[in-house]
């Protein structure tokens, strides 16, 4: 994520497009892994119980919203995202942090 978000800031701005393209490829491979886990019948990434990894994953998925590989563009991840976003704990965190507008 950092490579995509700060490609021009952390390195030579002339190479930023290539760094972002590689970052998107890597992020997409993570989304592939997440989808595979969910397609094996898991409700959450590590199994039947909501955990810290799910909150971290949702944060990263939100950060991908302006990328070509946005997590919400994948139906399996979109379903997972909608499920997490309906949880009272997620709603409360967003209210406390003043976050809104995702997923749209």
Q: For all residues of the chain together, what is the average pLDDT? A: 94
Cβ neighbours of residue 69 under 8 Å, at least 6 residues apart? 24, 27, 28, 31
CATH class of 2-97: mainly alpha
Asked whether the predicted pLDDT for residue 14 surpasses 80, the reply is yes
Asked whether the predicted pLDDT for residue 47 surpasses 90, the reply is no
d(CA 101, CA 85): 11
* DSSP label of 12: -
What is the residue extent of each domain of the chain?
Answer: 2-97
Q: What is the mean pLDDT of residues 36-57?
A: 94
> Residue 23: which pLDDT band, with cuts at 50, 70 and 90?
very high
């Amino acid at each position: 994520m950092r490579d995509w978000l700060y490609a021009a800031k952390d390195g030579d701005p002339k190479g930023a497009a290539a760094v972002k393209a590689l970052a998107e490829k890597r992020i997409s491979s993570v989304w592939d892994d997440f989808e595979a886990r969910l397609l094996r019948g898991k409700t959450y990434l590590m199994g039947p119980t909501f955990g810290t990894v799910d909150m971290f994953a949702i944060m990263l998925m939100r950060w991908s919203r302006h990328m070509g590989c946005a997590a919400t563009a994948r139906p399996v991840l979109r379903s997972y995202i909608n499920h997490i976003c309906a949880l009272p704990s997620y709603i409360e965190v967003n209210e406390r942090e003043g976050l809104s507008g995702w997923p749209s």
